[in-house]
Chains A and B, each alone.
Chain A
């Protein structure tokens, strides 16, 4: 303990108030545990402040602007004018409402809120360092701790997020003006989502990707409609090239890339956005003082009850490993709190859904056909293209498909992949079906509302069973 420290005690110390941490804290509070939640920056974490929510706000706004200006086919002629500062202001309002809500919910559930950065001092003590000169620190003694410090963007050598024209996703979502041109380094989901936003707002977008396709983590046929649509929006792609540096030039910058053979290319732009992935924030915690181990990538290893190698210390969300998804973090937070309270809780979900908010959207859950095969199932797939969906055609977005993967002998659903309109919403039904242990027949025999996009889910299941109505069977 440092001289002058104030020491307090708590049942559960939650470090980090993102979607994992605040959910854990609230749940623990509901279970009558004494909870202290420490946050160094903003309640709601990356998700609410700099990630999911602001990006989705900007995607919606840019979609609206773009669609209004490109609806001649439907007889609509408009030329929307975008006031970027106001758009960002609206987005900030949404964020403020949500983060304020988190704070209120925490307090209403008896969660003690504390601002500062936590460091472990020992197995049962943490020091909370308050920001700013002379703010000092205090010590919290805990029975249990939940580490939920999340992740941060990975920097590429030569691109320092502190430099003005170099943006991380957080800075890109806070721009006051639409840049005229933008180089995006990385064609993963963050890069592709933001490429869509800025292209629709009128920015000249160039995407540079080291690998050979967009959305490298996804199957080719899912990524293809996204790339096709991006090209329609005049996004310029350069695959097989790694960003190696940048320099100021005239009224903008020049970004240099290099391919495997060492060939250098140069791209002029106003700004460069680096979105090559995220890394867990575990290096500021002094985990070693508590004896908590991390793997070579900095992730904390946990068991099915979110426990680390130290029994009373838990880790949830991005720090506990892939997939780095807010909803996974929240579920882990609930489980950690329940386990601490002595409830028979465990992380035994069958599948974690994921969504990419590109144009068109991608939604996935569970296994791909290949994964099912590798895991010893006898997979059968069923597919339904949105261009056979009445509702999809009436939205003006009929690219993409729904695909279901099931175990043929038993009919159990194992996974699903959707690319197309509202894929992020549609995937929920299939996630539910997988968790419930539903079979293809269960999904196919459930009446789906007509005319909706969700009919495509039913049709895909029917296709897998060999009796689809609106498509030719496999």
Chain B
């Protein structure tokens, strides 16, 4: 049998190495662990040992060549087994070990040749609980990099893998740091943060006045340029700190390492490992692509205003128990949606889209309202159809349903399409005004700020009233600022006087 040998990962994070010299020639017999080549990396020259007893069949790179970790550098005929024709080398070596599970992983780029040799058939080492979690989160555990002992995959690894492809935005429900987490707190301990801590500042100095140590230890300290009073004491003698020679050496090494790392960090990446790299892909990228397309296609203009909604608050309070009797949690959203539709009927320019290809403005005579929803997977806009034809309770129950479906990702494509106008309720998280980006190609989107008591001037006096800040973005190609203001006024009239909705 022919055994291929790939350049193993000869040092931490080394991607390539130069073949300094071959210690064997083709046809030489070799024994397991016998050095066959010297490879120089940017850190050191290391000897590469043979993995098998056998005969050198082929030496591939020449001396002086730089080869990547994972590329085949030498092949062996393994002792006691029949040699095969050279041209079949690669094929036979792969097919020999191939099984279903390997075929699956074979498409993945190989991480390291060494790993393939030593970990057998792509077996994943993980506790049953981690395996179950992976299934629950839809993670292929074979692709998760383990951070546990000897590379075991932990539950934490699985969770991180589940989060990495589409990192959260507005939802605060996920564990661990998110890029929007402006507080800078890193949540629970993560392997990254632990790893990052090792390249910190120099070890803390113990800074004592008096330190006991053996004479030999004092000499070592002097040789290493270490202040004995700064070395952390491992034990006490007669109530005084006592330092051993090992402690001195450890301190000296740690100090040197820290200095070196500081120098390296300064030279290479200033941010070092404080930056977490997250793949921009999946749902996150889909959202991003849609946002840029919208933003760079439609000239956005945002109109801001505030409604004073005391009546709305009262009305909802009155209706809430009635709704609860029917098992429906009544929020402000159905009122907003009804008011939106009433305003759209009066200002049809905003229930429209521009068909650029056809050169036509499409005015829609139906009213499907999209409701922007923050989910663990990212922003989604589930849609409630024909809002004009439905009562508050029905709208309420449908909104609750589609939003929940979006959150648990059981929503269908259909339920995410076909809106004619969208509402985004950033106020649910907090804030007054924002610049909503159009749910392209819709002509307008209404952003709702936080409904709360704010100072309002009434008859020359400042009083506390419930107010609702609104931000209306429009596609300025087909909607003018005046249209936006007129729409906003109508909308405000409805939310300030919800009984008007009865006439709708």
Contacts and interface: CB of A to CB of B under 8 A. Distances in A.
Contact of A410 (B132, B136, B151): B151
Contacts of B135: 344-346, 348
Interface in A224-271: none
Given A435-B128, A436-B127, A437-B126, A375 B150 contact: no
A44 B136 CA distance: 32
A466 to B, nearest CB: 16
A442 B118 contact: no
A204 interface: no
B132 A377 contact: no
B121 A375 contact: yes
A420 B131 CA distance: 33
A27 B152 CA distance: 30
Given A437-B148, A439-B150, A442-B149, A410 B127 contact: no
Contacts of A436: 127-128
A348 B131 contact: yes
Interface string A365-391: 000000010011110000000000000
Contacts of A407: 118-120
Interface magnitude class on chain B: 20 to 34
Interface magnitude class on chain A: 20 to 34
B98 to A, nearest CB: 11
Contacts of B148: 437
B297 interface: no
Contacts of A439: 149-150
A435 B126 CA distance: 7
Contacts of A372: 120
Contact of B120 (A345, A348, A375, A442): A375
Which of B120, B128, B132 counts the most chain A CB atoms within 10 A? B120
A412 interface: yes
A410 B119 contact: yes
B117 interface: yes
Contacts of A437: 125-127, 148, 152-153
A135 to B, nearest CB: 44
B374 to A, nearest CB: 25
B146 to A, nearest CB: 8
A410 B120 CA distance: 11
B127 A435 contact: yes
A376 B149 contact: no
Nearest to A367: B120
Contacts of B123: 350, 375
B97 A412 contact: no
Given A375-B120, A436-B128, 12 more contacts: A345-B135, A346-B135, A350-B123, A375-B121, A376-B116, A412-B150, A414-B120, A436-B127, A437-B126, A437-B127, A439-B149, A442-B149
19 contacts: A344-B132, A344-B135, A344-B136, A348-B128, A372-B120, A375-B120, A376-B97, A377-B118, A407-B120, A408-B118, A409-B118, A410-B118, A410-B119, A410-B125, A411-B150, A412-B125, A436-B128, A437-B152, A439-B149
The 3 closest A-B pairs by CB, nearest first: A437-B125, A344-B135, A377-B120
Interface of B: 97, 116-121, 123, 125-128, 131-132, 135-136, 148-153
